[in-house]
Structure 1
Amino acid sequence: MVSKPSHIAVIILSLFLLSATFNLVAGHSTEKKSECTCIREDKDEHAGEVVDKSVLHYKIGSIVVILVASALGVFLPIVGKNIPALHPNKGGFFLVKAFAAGVILCTAFIHILPEAFENLTSPCLGEDSPWASFPITGLAAMGGAILTLMMDSIAMRHFRKAHGLDDHNAADEEAKDAHHHVHGSSSVVPQGLSQAEQVRYRVTSQVLEMGIVVHSVIIGISLGTSESLDTIKPLMAALCFHQFFEGVGLGGCIVQAAFKSASTLCMALFFSLTTPVGIAIGIGISNVYDESSPTALIVQGLLDAVAAGILIYMALVDLLAQDFMNPKMQTNTRLFFGANLTLLLGAGFMAVLAIWA
């Protein structure tokens, strides 16, 4: 069985380390400001008290709204498995999941990766820095994708051995799966999963959550430190859409993994809280935080690039490839083209949001 406590402990530790890093960055912001004139933050130091209160109200409101959107998204597939139309064995489940995968893929390519490039090529880092002379962003994104592949394969090897799925047993499992597929039983039905399939879905859901968490905390901090309503309002709307459908994709993986109720609830709640926690951290350090300081640009740029690589791998390999190669979709022409359409719609809608946020 997948170790839930160790997984959650690693992510919580990562959040604390991330929080400490940004507080360290904030502590050095004053001296860094004098070294760089390309301040990207649109804070208005002379804003009146009314404006300051309005900004704070929007930030606090964004915590509630984004928390609700995230929770609705991740719990929809979990609750929906008891609703016939949204059951994992139904075509609607594939369509919704394809849309969510499109959102995740577009988030990585259109929203996260360009931001990482901007941070790591900023003039604030200096013309003589190694960041300006080497494509570190692409390297970090590639590293994130390769690291995810390694984590995927290592975890699969570990849990296959833990379940006694050696080469001989693996062949038996594959034959059993083929028998189920021929008779119309889909691999996404938790009750009909083989051990190998269940392990695969569990590894997928946990690695996907780790990739989402990294970006969710970073973007939450960005919103929390912003002092411009022109930035906060569109970012709030984009995050609601983004978190809802990322939650749908993650929730779908959790349902397919057939976790126990306690593990399912823990993973869903953890996802729901990550962005609100990031916003709260941002509010706490907003008075001293300088996002244009070299350290902040490097830390945020690297984390964004790695997160983009993780999400790109997960969207293409663990979400889309698994479902699009599923015998149920391969043998159903209407479902196949419907999934392609919803994939494009998900990516398209998320791309349009880049106009505002």
Structure 2
Amino acid sequence: MQWWEQYDPNDIAVNSTEVPDSWKVCVLEGVYFGNNDYGGMLGARISSIFVIGFVSTAVTLFPYCAKYVPWLRIPKYLYLFARYFGSGVIIATAFVHLLDPAYSSIGPNTCVGMTGKWASYSWPPAIVLVTLFLTFLIDIASAIWVEHKYGIVDDRNRNQVAEFFVSGHNMAMESNMHEHRYDNSVVEFSPRQGKNLTICESSDEFELDNSKEAKVQFAAFLVLECGIIFHSVIIGLNLGACGIEFKTLYPVLVFHQSFEGLGIGARLSAIPFKKNDIVPYMCSLAYGLVTPLSIAIGLAVRTTYNGNSYTSNIIQGVMNAISAGILIYTGLVELLARDFIFDQDCHRDQKKLVFNVVCTMTGAGIMALVGKWA
């Protein structure tokens, strides 16, 4: 018998001094004397595996395909909307969907946060802080590794790569056929409404710098995706085994996972991958499958899993705090700072800049609103 089972909650008043306040909080939150609350609707839960899996994967692929698949002929501003809306989603996810749940699981006023060593410190911000600096160190290490292996990417060539992949599409639409020369490299733009871009190079310098830039950005992206995947595992388990709130969670999580997928896809689309590279598709598929697989696991243990137990709260709180730290760093440094502050090209077209900022804020606002239900 657990130590807390020696007291009967039916015999203990809220203002009683017989038991510690932490015991009362644990009882009121359902951590003590709680059990499995599976609410049926097996058919709908099974359908969520396929619906969320398909929608998540498709939405994640959209920004990347919109940029790199010519026959889709996606309007430029639709692509920009998807990219920067997704950036806002990631930032809102960090604060509303990860940091707040971390406090709700292991924060100072929770059952876990008021018992044992968890009561000695406010752990959610500490975990976020440590994770943030670890992400920072990983970011530095990946940049140093790429520079050591491939040589230093100077700012001039870095800006040339960025200008080609970010601004080249727009420049192509303004001219039927013209050439821009960067040192020994020639970038040729097609007259077909700027949909296809052809790189004609007289040296390997441009392609090599592009490879370096892609590896640095991809390393940062992998950290971002890991943070979101941690969160998706928890969501899937809870959706597969939750109680009567499934009716509300199901449709909300379809939008939730779609918006997060749009954020991942937006980040993927900003990385200059080589033509026909399968890595972006594998990354999209990894995100699209992790939640359905977690839902399936939740269904397998639906009659025994207690998502509100003491141990579950610790695991969920720690994983949410870790994910929050990753996404806060990535959202503020890799997305906002990189795309708006340090990219001088974006300051030249103020109309596009305002559009991108509005899309980012819209994505953050809508994702924050979704946090009211999930």
Most deviating of 191-200 and 277-286 = 191-200
Equivalents in 2 of 1:251, 1:212: separation in Å? 12
Equivalents in 1 of 2:258, 2:37: separation in Å? 36
Distance 1:78 1:32, change over 3 A: farther
The reply to whether residue 346 of structure 1 matches residue 327 of structure 2 is no
Equivalents in 2 of 1:114, 1:251: separation in Å? 25
Residue 293 of structure 1 deviates from its aligned partner by 2.3
The reply to whether residue 37 of structure 1 matches residue 30 of structure 2 is no
Instruction: Give CA-to-partner distance per residue, 1:174-218, whole Å, 9 cap, x none.
Output: 22344567xx53458796763332222211221211111111111
Distance 1:159 1:179, change over 3 A: closer
Equivalents in 2 of 1:114, 1:342: separation in Å? 24
Distance 1:196 1:114, change over 3 A: same
Instruction: Give CA-to-partner distance per residue, 1:46-67, whole Å, 9 cap, x none.
Output: 99xxx62x2x222112111111
Verify the 8 A CA contact 2:36 2:306 in the aligned structure 1. Answer: no
Verify the 8 A CA contact 1:217 1:278 in the aligned structure 2. Answer: yes
The reply to whether residue 254 of structure 1 matches residue 268 of structure 2 is yes
Distance 1:194 1:65, change over 3 A: same
Percentage of matched positions with identical amino acids = 29
Equivalents in 1 of 2:281, 2:36: separation in Å? 43
1:299 pairs, out of 315, 331, 337, with 315
Equivalents in 1 of 2:161, 2:315: separation in Å? 48
Most deviating of 309-318 and 287-296 = 287-296
Unaligned 5+ segments in structure 2 are 6-22, 169-196, 200-205
Verify the 8 A CA contact 1:40 1:291 in the aligned structure 2. Answer: no
TM-score, reference length from structure 1: 0.77
Residue 92 of structure 1 deviates from its aligned partner by 4.0
- Name the aligned partner's letter for residue 348 of structure 2: T
- Name the aligned partner's letter for residue 242 of structure 1: H
- Which residue of 1 is the match for residue 133 of structure 2? 146
Instruction: Give CA-to-partner distance per residue, 1:86-135, whole Å, 9 cap, x none.
Output: 48xx4543332111111111111112211110110364337342222311
Q: SS state of the match for residue 291, structure 1? A: coil
1:240 pairs, out of 216, 231, 254, with 254
Verify the 8 A CA contact 1:70 1:271 in the aligned structure 2. Answer: yes
- Which residue of 1 is the match for residue 9 of structure 2? none
- Which residue of 2 is the match for residue 129 of structure 1? 116
- Name the aligned partner's letter for residue 354 of structure 2: F
Equivalents in 2 of 1:91, 1:203: separation in Å? 27
The reply to whether residue 199 of structure 1 matches residue 215 of structure 2 is yes
- Name the aligned partner's letter for residue 239 of structure 2: L
Equivalents in 2 of 1:126, 1:328: separation in Å? 47
Distance 1:132 1:347, change over 3 A: same
Verify the 8 A CA contact 1:32 1:293 in the aligned structure 2. Answer: no
- Which residue of 2 is the match for residue 80 of structure 1? 66
Unaligned 5+ segments in structure 1 are 1-29
Most deviating of 319-328 and 292-301 = 319-328
- Which residue of 2 is the match for residue 20 of structure 1? none
Q: SS state of the match for residue 307, structure 2? A: coil
Query: Larger radius of gyration, structure 1 or 2?
Result: 2
Instruction: Give CA-to-partner distance per residue, 1:7-36, whole Å, 9 cap, x none.
Output: xxxxxxxxxxxxxxxxxxxxxxx9699485
The reply to whether residue 160 of structure 1 matches residue 147 of structure 2 is yes
Q: How many pairs are equivalent?
A: 311
- Which residue of 1 is the match for residue 94 of structure 2? 108
Verify the 8 A CA contact 2:83 2:265 in the aligned structure 1. Answer: no
Equivalents in 2 of 1:94, 1:320: separation in Å? 14
Distance 1:285 1:204, change over 3 A: same
Residue 249 of structure 1 deviates from its aligned partner by 2.3
Equivalents in 2 of 1:276, 1:74: separation in Å? 15
Distance 1:303 1:157, change over 3 A: same
Q: SS state of the match for residue 27, structure 2? A: coil
- Name the aligned partner's letter for residue 310 of structure 1: I
Q: SS state of the match for residue 185, structure 1? A: helix
Distance 1:268 1:32, change over 3 A: farther
- Which residue of 2 is the match for residue 176 of structure 1? 157
Equivalents in 2 of 1:103, 1:46: separation in Å? 31
Residue 40 of structure 1 deviates from its aligned partner by 4.2
Distance 1:252 1:299, change over 3 A: same
The reply to whether residue 70 of structure 1 matches residue 18 of structure 2 is no
Distance 1:110 1:153, change over 3 A: same
Equivalents in 1 of 2:84, 2:340: separation in Å? 9
TM-score, reference length from structure 2: 0.74
- Name the aligned partner's letter for residue 345 of structure 1: T
Q: SS state of the match for residue 270, structure 2? A: helix
Equivalents in 2 of 1:313, 1:32: separation in Å? 41
Most deviating of 211-220 and 323-332 = 323-332
Verify the 8 A CA contact 2:124 2:321 in the aligned structure 1. Answer: yes
- Name the aligned partner's letter for residue 247 of structure 2: K
